[in-house]
Structure 1
């Protein structure tokens, strides 16, 4: 029997992305903006410069600067001068964004619950292990 694992990964990915894009559209956030916001939340306690974002995502200065400027306009982040290098700008999350992120985390938990509905705890653990192995096989 021929397996269609790749096809299922593609279909699942596309469906999840469509759902996420729907939610993002309600918040007026693009996929790229969402990735940068995720990174900033991940590094919340440390100062993050535009250069840090460029390196992490392997993007040009112009790309990152454009995305961050749009996030500033939308009130999700603000820029401040870096204490150690006055030429550099730190990107900081606004309180509005911190509240939005908590809502997004709740949605992510609901999505995971929906994806794993009907799975026992043991099946969830095994499934997670299998996905991790698949991911490592791609490295």
Structure 2
């Protein structure tokens, strides 16, 4: 009696592998996260040029206002009848409210912004920052164990 030494793939195993690979591809496409791109600044950019590393940020977002490496929850603009554009950007942070207030006060002052904490409590905080003609209103509101940050500014 001869034994068959040739290898045959069991159709069930092939089907399982195809389904698993298809499922992984679907998950990668559906749950694509809006994260910053790595951008290498070429030498031919003028000195002081700033590059926004986030996709989906509306034009005119102040480049020296920091955002965490988080998916943007909302990003949009509304143009008023008088021609001004009011823009809102928000994301959800894992940090605490008090830690975020401290981070934004420190980093924005270091970047030359005039910082005013308009309200601060365990339930919310509102920070107003000014730099020249630019003004940004930052609202921080707890959501269970996270904090939603909302930035409002006009162009």
TM over 0.5: no
TM range (shorter): 0.3 to 0.5
State the TM-score, normalizing by the size of structure 1.
0.33
Kindly indicate which of the two structures has a greater share of residues assigned to strand: 2
Kindly indicate which of the two structures has a greater share of residues assigned to helix: 1
